[in-house]
Amino acid sequence: MPLGSKNMCNSTRHAITKGTELPSIDLFPIADQVTFKYYTGVLAFFEENYAVAESELSFAFDRCMVGGADAERLILSYLIPIRFLKGCYPHQDLFTKYPAMEHLYGDFALAIRRGDLGLFDRAFDRLQRPLCRRGTWFTVEKAREVVIATMMKKVWMLENSPTRLPLTKVQQALRLSGNDSDIPEVECVVANLIDKGFVRGYIAHQSGMIVLAADGRPFVAPQTVAAASRSAS
């Protein structure tokens, strides 16, 4: 990032937002506000403060005029992965307008929509270098949990058993996605989803079952999980 270091970025941000000697950022020209919001959004992104990052980057994108499409693409390169963590993905119209974003994020968006873990993993392997260059590798990788949760929900719906889901069924789905996991590995995957709040239930190890919440809503929307994570942090 410009300014050379994260510490300098934080110092500058604090001076502008908390200092009493400078006028409010709202009093500056809109182009300056957009630039400031972009950089504070990117800084929040790298700090994994995704709620702030989304707010700042959305402000910058909605009001971006100077720089046009290039500046918008730059903002979207961070904003799209943040939305992935909430199970949200761009409409095709946006990808049509910004083909570079479709090249980078299109398969991930499709994988999240479908719960297609195989597609997600293939895209991730293929695009690791450009993701690393943009600094979005880690955030996109975190969205893999959303894909697995969606995949697992589809397996549950096919089973048509409200409160029981065999671990072997999840194992089969993982194997079809190219992940040759044994039962202990499947248990780890499921336990992680339960711990993160995507799934309401517990693992009955002796019976090899996932025992799900009996209210008919054992799978929690990623957007709700993201909001709960923000509240807890």
pLDDT tens per residue across span 99-156: 999 999 999 999 999 999 999 999 999 999 999 999 999 999 999 999 999 999 999 9
Q: How confident is the model at residue 3 (pLDDT cuts 50, 70, 90)?
A: very low
DSSP of 31-72, one letter per residue? HHHHHHHHHHHHHHHHTT-HHHHHHHHHHHHHT--TTHHHHH
What's residue 171's pLDDT?
Answer: 98
**pLDDT reading at 7 higher than 60:** no
Give the confidence band of 5 by pLDDT, cuts at 50, 70, 90.
low
pLDDT of residue 14: 59
Q: How many whole angstroms separate alpha carbon 128 and alpha carbon 132?
A: 6
Rg (CA), the chain: 20
**31 pLDDT tier (thresholds 50, 70, 90):** confident
Question: For 210-224, what is each residue's pLDDT tens digit?
Answer: 999 999 899 999 999
pLDDT at 59: 95
Question: How high is the mean pLDDT of the chain?
Answer: 90
pLDDT at site 103: 97
Do 43 and 10 contact (CB within 8 A), yes or no?
yes
20 has pLDDT over 90: no
For the structural domain made of 145-232, what CATH number should be given?
A: 1.10.10.10
| Helix extents (H) in 160-200 | 167-176, 183-196
Looking up tokens 């993201």, which residue turns up? 226
Average pLDDT score over residue span 25-42: 85
Q: Which residue ranges make up each domain of the chain?
A: 6-142, 145-232
Residues linked to residue 203 through DSSP beta bridges, in sequence order: 210
- Percent of all residues in the chain with a pLDDT value above 70, rounded to a whole number: 87
Q: Which bin fits 87, alpha (ψ -120 to 50), beta or left (φ > 0)?
A: left
Which candidate, 90, 141, 99, places its Cα nearest to that of 120?
141
Rounded to the nearest angstrom, the gap between the alpha carbon of residue 159 and the centroid of all alpha carbons in its chain is 28
The predicted pLDDT at position 10 comes to: 59
